[in-house]
Amino acid sequence: MFSNVYYSFFLFLFFVSCSTTKFKKRNLESGPLDLLKSGLSKVCLSGEGRGRFYFVDERQTFSFESLLDNAKKRLDISYHFPFHGEEGLSIFYKEALKEQITYQGSLFERIKKEGRKDGGEKLRGFFAPYVTKLGQFLFLFNSFKDTDFFDDFVRCHKGPRQKGLVKGECFYGSRNRSFRWETSLDHFSFFYDLSGQKGRLGLIFDREKENFFSKWTISFYANDQKGIPLKIEKYVTSCSI
């Protein structure tokens, strides 16, 4: 009996060791396009979980379900806020490369309504460049599903490697739009600079599970402000890749 317990304990340690070292076997010496693909392959945009909005001095928790429709190039998200109820948001990004992103849903209408109370036009003008970049990221992710198209659509350059961190830059589309990326053994990040150096959109994916990153953060940076005007953290508990 003792030997069986000992053997079971040994197997437990073996499998735990394998599961905790799996991600660390990822080859950071790969080419820049392969590094980009390895990161995108772990991004989950269809699933459910919980999260938090950080806006100025406010914080709001929520649970959510999301569904990405690759054929229609549409992302639908249902947010459930405590003591408030459900709000919906749909993002249509088929024409993202033309900088034409369409947003619909009760959450979008609520934001517009709140914005009209105090400088609505200024608020929409502030966020417009960010949501355009977000739509372009969704288009990029959508293109990743079509491998042949993606290899011709994106051109990447790998930057320096510093203490296990690899940085690079990619260009995509006919207008040579660009984004910066960085990856390590623990995360994968994208950064889209806004025109005129007004700020940037950051997307950070980490806390990898077996098949997907279980946390992703969207941050809106503004160069003329201290701190981050808007940050959304999502913790994915179930993914439908």
For residue 185, tell me if it sits in a domain: yes
Residue 70: domain span: 26-239
Name beta bridge partners: 144: none
For residue 1, tell me if it sits in a domain: no
For residue 21, tell me if it sits in a domain: no
Mean local confidence (pLDDT), 121-131: 68
For residue 201, tell me if it sits in a domain: yes
For residue 42, tell me if it sits in a domain: yes
For residue 18, tell me if it sits in a domain: no
Q: Which of 92, 172, 101, 110 is nearest to 140 (CA)?
A: 172
For residue 209, tell me if it sits in a domain: yes
Q: Per the structure, how many domains does the chain have?
A: 1
pLDDT in tens, 39-96: 899 999 999 999 998 876 788 899 999 999 999 999 999 999 998 889 898 999 999 9
What SS3 string covers 8-59? HHHHHHHHHHHHHHCHHHCCCCCCHHHHHHHHHCCCCCCEEEEEEEEECCEE
Mean local confidence (pLDDT), 201-218: 90
For residue 165, tell me if it sits in a domain: yes
Q: How many angstroms separate the CA atoms of 130 and 203, rounded?
A: 11
Per-residue confidence at 20, pLDDT binned at 50, 70, 90?
A: very low
Predicted pLDDT of residue 12: 33
